[in-house]
Amino acid sequence: MHLKSQESQVAEKSYIRADWQGGYQSLTQEFDYWIDDIEGQIPTELQGTLFRNGPGLLDINGQPLHHPFDGDGMISKITFINGRAHFRNRFVRTTGYLAEQKAGKILHRGTFGTQKPGGWLANIFDFNLKNIANTNVIYWGGKLLAMWEAAEPYRLDPYTLETLENEYFNGALSAGEAFAAHPRVENNCYQDGGAPCLVNFSVKPGLSTTITIFELNLAGEIIRRHAHSVPGFCFIHDFVITPNYCIFFQNPVTFNPIPFALGIRAAGECIKFQPNQPTQILIIPRFPKEGQEEIKFLETQSGFVFHHVNAFEVGEEVLIDSICYQNLPEVEPESDFRQIDFEASSPGQLWRFSLNLKDGTVGRELIDGRCCEFPTIHPANVGRPYRYLYIGAAHAETGNAPLQALLKIDLESLERQFWSAAPRGFVGEPIFVPRPGSEKEDDGWVLALVYDATYHRSDLVILDASDFSKGAIARLHLKHHIPYGLHGSFTSE
């Protein structure tokens, strides 16, 4: 009887672990081909290039990395031309990648637990972090940039994906200076007469932390830059903008550098979540006026946010939609990320925070309790009121599990649309691409890579954003898998 109920519990799971693990194998090859194995039809109006970044290697010549976030950045690109699609992938030739591939072994400490072989003695007092350029890729100002939040971006050739050099924006960034991996593009910046503007930031953590904000024009030049000091340590991965503000969530964490310095733990393993401390919300004016306070600090409940969806201003209020975890599990030195117990940690859930700038109060409301990550919206609505979001989600409504589905939420009606690749498919970050000339906010497509364990390969899936119930309108079968990635972007140029 007892066994039976256990069995049916297992059967209820939407995936098996071995399938999920298949997406965490390294891809060592670099490809360049026209995709000829396609189900359905690529819309001919879909023209442009989807760029993706993520760890391509989960081991160095057989030596396993401790955490996927330590994997070398690999860029994939899928170009859509007249209903056809071309694939190419290349590793970012970072200094660290070149050195390690040449040596055939791990030469650098990773931020999330990968250590040089040889125990603590081999790692003690080594504060060098390898810039792995693995988190995001954007095309801006005529440049293709591979980004990682703790160092400068790498510039690549947008056609061949060849690595060119580090990007310093005409000397506005200095060597080794951080440039986050989560830029926000405002379509219509009032300060710039309605021109688009890219806003990004950097975090220099310490006992007090410096947050620098960068605004870039369409030519890719840094036109505004201002730095702010924030008390305490910050681990900030993402932010949101509105026409007037940059907003950061300072998650309640502490950092103990001693085990890192002694070579016992990696930097990321020295971060401890503080469940009894509030989250600080930092509101920084983008265009500071004389006499205006530099930063406004508000507070909300303890929680951990990696990613925000969007933010917008309504009178004296700012509304922010974010994926919030009840806590941040510690990265443990002796663990294997492929064996992670999903049920033991809390899922990311979608919340709406409302900040009252006048009286300083913060409200919050759960929009969706389903485990989700990697939101995307119509690019014209960044920092503006918006109605629709699309996000990777677990197949099951409750619990913590790998992303296997795509969820669309209508924030006005709270209606949902759902498309699932379970049991053997695992999805990555979706990207919304508007149909050229469209006016309706959800007139366009949602593109996502799906790892298909049945064939150990990945598919690029295209959904009609206005109607998920049609299923995939096209499914492009790649000739190989792409390890689970992080972020990417679409450019119609």
Where on the chain is the footprint of ligand 3ON (CB under 6 A)? 69, 111, 129, 134-135, 149-150, 205, 235, 237, 267-268, 271, 306, 373, 403, 484, 486
Contacts of 189 (CB under 8 A, 6+ apart): 195, 196, 197, 215, 243
What's the min distance (Å) between Cβ of 165 and ligand 3ON? Answer: 21
**Residues 317, 333: Cα–Cα separation, whole Å:** 43
C-beta of 80 vs 273, nearer to ligand 3ON: 273
What's the min distance (Å) between Cβ of 272 and ligand 3ON? Answer: 12
What's the min distance (Å) between Cβ of 484 and ligand 3ON? Answer: 4
C-beta of 205 vs 383, nearer to ligand 3ON: 205
For 248, the 3-state DSSP assignment is strand
What's the min distance (Å) between Cβ of 18 and ligand 3ON? Answer: 17
Contacts of 369 (CB under 8 A, 6+ apart): 347, 349, 397, 398
What's the min distance (Å) between Cβ of 259 and ligand 3ON? Answer: 12
CA 20 to chain centre: 19
C-beta of 85 vs 253, nearer to ligand 3ON: 253
What's the min distance (Å) between Cβ of 223 and ligand 3ON? Answer: 25
What's the min distance (Å) between Cβ of 152 and ligand 3ON? Answer: 13
Judged on CB neighbours under 10 Å (0-12, 13-18, 19+), 232 is middle
For 190, the 3-state DSSP assignment is helix
C-beta of 147 vs 189, nearer to ligand 3ON: 147
What's the min distance (Å) between Cβ of 304 and ligand 3ON? Answer: 9
**Residues 447, 79: Cα–Cα separation, whole Å:** 12
What's the min distance (Å) between Cβ of 103 and ligand 3ON? Answer: 22
Contacts of 199 (CB under 8 A, 6+ apart): 183, 184, 185, 186, 213, 214, 215, 216, 241, 246, 286
Residue 67 and residue 268 in contact, taking contact as beta carbons nearer than 8 Å: yes
C-beta of 355 vs 394, nearer to ligand 3ON: 394
Residue 317 and residue 292 in contact, taking contact as beta carbons nearer than 8 Å: no
**Residues 85, 83: Cα–Cα separation, whole Å:** 7
**Residues 123, 113: Cα–Cα separation, whole Å:** 11
C-beta of 325 vs 445, nearer to ligand 3ON: 325
What's the min distance (Å) between Cβ of 176 and ligand 3ON? Answer: 11
Residue 398 and residue 370 in contact, taking contact as beta carbons nearer than 8 Å: yes
Judged on CB neighbours under 10 Å (0-12, 13-18, 19+), 167 is buried
C-beta of 178 vs 355, nearer to ligand 3ON: 178
**CA-based torsion, 58, 59, 64, 69: positive or negative:** negative
E-only strand ranges, 108-194: 136-140, 143-147, 154-156, 163-166, 184-189
C-beta of 116 vs 237, nearer to ligand 3ON: 237
C-beta of 133 vs 311, nearer to ligand 3ON: 133
Fill in the DSSP letter of residue 62.
T
C-beta of 66 vs 237, nearer to ligand 3ON: 237
DSSP letters along 267-331, please?
A: GGGGEEE-TTSPEEEEEEESSPPTT--S-EEEEE-S-EEEEEEEEEEETTEEEEEEEEES--PPP
C-beta of 85 vs 137, nearer to ligand 3ON: 137
Q: Which of 347, 343, 351, 431 is nearest to 394 (CA)?
A: 347
**Residues 56, 452: Cα–Cα separation, whole Å:** 17
Neighbours of 165 (CB within 10 A): 9
Residue 324 and residue 348 in contact, taking contact as beta carbons nearer than 8 Å: yes
C-beta of 403 vs 447, nearer to ligand 3ON: 403
Residue 433 and residue 488 in contact, taking contact as beta carbons nearer than 8 Å: no
What's the min distance (Å) between Cβ of 128 and ligand 3ON? Answer: 11
What's the min distance (Å) between Cβ of 371 and ligand 3ON? Answer: 9
What's the min distance (Å) between Cβ of 129 and ligand 3ON? Answer: 6
C-beta of 150 vs 198, nearer to ligand 3ON: 150
Judged on CB neighbours under 10 Å (0-12, 13-18, 19+), 418 is middle
